[in-house]
Amino acid sequence: MKLSAIAFCILMVGMSACQQRNGGNEDQEHFVVRASAGDNTPAVIDIVEDDWAKQPEYRQNIPWDSIEVFQIEHALLNNKLHLNTNLRQFEALWGKPDSIITPNYNDICAAGFEEDFQYLFKDGSTFEIFKDSILLGEIFFTGNNFITYKGVTLNRHTTLADIIRLFPHAVKQAEYEGTPEEIKLRDTANKDSDSSILLFFREGKLERLVNFIPC
């Protein structure tokens, strides 16, 4: 009987230690990152959000010229429409604009066009239009809208874990600045440019992409 009692105590202590090692993770969000395993077979890496965010290597002050570049000219909307395009191509590939309005230019700090442009709206997204030329302002990933960039697809299902894999330096900088749901990418290889591409997340999912031009 004494031996059985001792064995029972050892069993309970072991279970308690196991719970301490594994417990407390029920409320943590797990991200799954797919990376190449070298034989075209996806390797799945399970990342606990609270854990990676607390790691020193994910909170670094990264020099601006080391942040990844997202070049608009290499991106396509719905795998067919260039984000900087013309009105004819826009209507042929995405349909008629929902509306085109003339803004109050006194309220505008910076813009892609130096001339008196207008704003074009489609599916919640915003573009600048001058004569026949169109420049991206902001894309909302509504419905089935998506962006492809160098073989990568960004849509409303894209998670922060996907962005960690694609743009690790930008994520580290966002964590360092305390803005993990606003990822800032360079828009050109020109190190002197201060314009950028912003990726905004809501509840862990990609919500919009902004072509940001500072004042």
Neighbours of 115 (CB within 10 A): 9
pLDDT, tens digit, 9 for 90 and up, residues 95-136: 999 999 999 988 888 888 888 899 999 999 999 999 999 999
Considering the domain boundaries, does residue 193 fall inside one?
yes
Between 67-71, 86-90, 131-135, 150-154, the lowest mean confidence (pLDDT) is in 150-154
Would you say residue 81 lies in a domain? yes
Q: Which two tokens stand for residue 131?
A: 């004569």
pLDDT band at 56 (very low <50, low <70, confident <90, very high): low
69 in a domain, yes or no? yes
On whether residue 79 sits in a domain, the answer given is yes
Coil, strand or helix at 22: helix
Structural domain that includes position 209: 55-215
**Pairwise CA distance, residues 182 & 184, whole Å:** 6
pTM beyond 0.75, yes or no = no
Tell me, yes or no, whether 26 lies in a domain.
Answer: no
pLDDT at 136: 94
Number of domains the chain contains: 1
Contacts of 175 (CB under 8 A, 6+ apart): 53, 58, 59, 60
